[in-house]
Amino acid sequence: MRNILVIEGEENVRENILELLSAEGYSPYGAKNGEEGINLAREVHPDLIICDILVPKLDGYKVRSILIKEPSTARIPFIFLTAKTERDNMRKGMDLGADDYITKPFTRRELLQSIQVRIEKQGMLERLAREKMASLQVNASLGLPHELLTPLSIILGYSELMVEPGYQMNQEQILRIAIDINQAAQRMLRLIQNHLLFNELGLAISDPDKISTIRSSRVVSSWITISEISSVIARRMNRERDLKINLVDASLKISEAYLQNIIEEILENAFKFSLPGSPIELSGILISQKSSYLLRVVDYGQEMSQEQIQYILGYSDSGRSFTEL
């Protein structure tokens, strides 16, 4: 049963819509003003929101601008309901990402048709997302054994050399081999951990409780956390002088473990595929209009081919170009 939130200041209009939705098999929720509507949206996570523009306390535009900035409510289909018919008001609603615009008075058929179209469209997008995730999981599972072969061959090769009868090594050679084996083992561990994390995130898509837990995580200071993680990685790679950090501080809605995983992956690749002495530029800026944080790593190593990019994305349909993604 689909949940629909109706934010409408006129009680008789709100109750008529709620009654109509109940009769059609929906599970409706009503809010008499914008503040109440925002709180209900955060609590219920409805499948669709119908909101009057002239709703009390916070108008419909303000309600939409607040909800679209929050990850848990940003993708909920949103229909504006109003008696206003001027073109500039309609344009403002669409600029805020509204999915439809219904003017009063409206017929039962108009309202139900708009709701059905938006819910079906959202369902299609959700199916496509699940199919894409399933495809990525298959590609990741197929690619993992091949990725493990490289560090495994290093471990096997050196260990076989060390146990070969009569083979002599000095202390320096033993230390060098031990370092290489350890690095290969660390690489295998990271590959396995990333694979488990990928599967965990894939399962979380269909689990509202897990999604809620993930979304409630927070890094208080992006500058402190990212700088500390980055410095450790640069030191481990013997590239401390090459790392240039320019970060805007912000509070991020992400767990520290996930953020660390992201930083480790992109920075280690930047160090790995660039020459010692060449700069690695790490920057972070806050994009206020999108309530997002843009993290960028620039290195001056070898460029990736189109095929490599598509492989990483788990995207292998040669009939489409990368720019269409």
Domain chopping of the chain, boundaries: 3-106, 130-211, 217-325
Give the pLDDT of residue 230. 92
Domains 3-106 and 217-325 are alike in CATH topology: no
Q: Three-state secondary structure along 202-262?
A: HHHCCCHHHHHHHHHCCECCHHHHHHHHHHHHHHHCCCHHHEEEEECCCCECCCHHHHHHH
Residue 128 CB coordination number (10 Å): 10
In tens digits, what is the pLDDT along the chain, a chain of 325 residues? Answer: 788 898 888 888 888 888 888 888 888 888 888 888 898 888 888 888 888 888 888 888 888 888 887 777 878 888 888 775 554 565 555 555 566 777 777 778 888 888 888 877 777 776 776 666 666 666 666 667 778 888 888 888 888 888 888 778 888 888 888 888 988 888 888 888 777 777 777 666 666 666 666 667 788 888 999 999 999 999 988 899 999 999 988 888 888 888 888 898 889 889 888 889 999 999 988 886 666 888 899 988 777 777 766 656 554 443 333 332 2
pTM, two decimals, is: 0.47
Domain 217-325 has CATH 3.30.565.10: yes
Give the pLDDT of residue 205. 62
Per-residue b or e along 227-259, where b marks 16 or more CB atoms closer than 10 Å to that residue's CB? bebbeebbeebebeebbeeebeebebbbbeeeb
Give the pLDDT of residue 279. 92
Domain 3-106 has CATH 3.30.1330.80: no
Side chain identity at residue 322, one-letter code: F
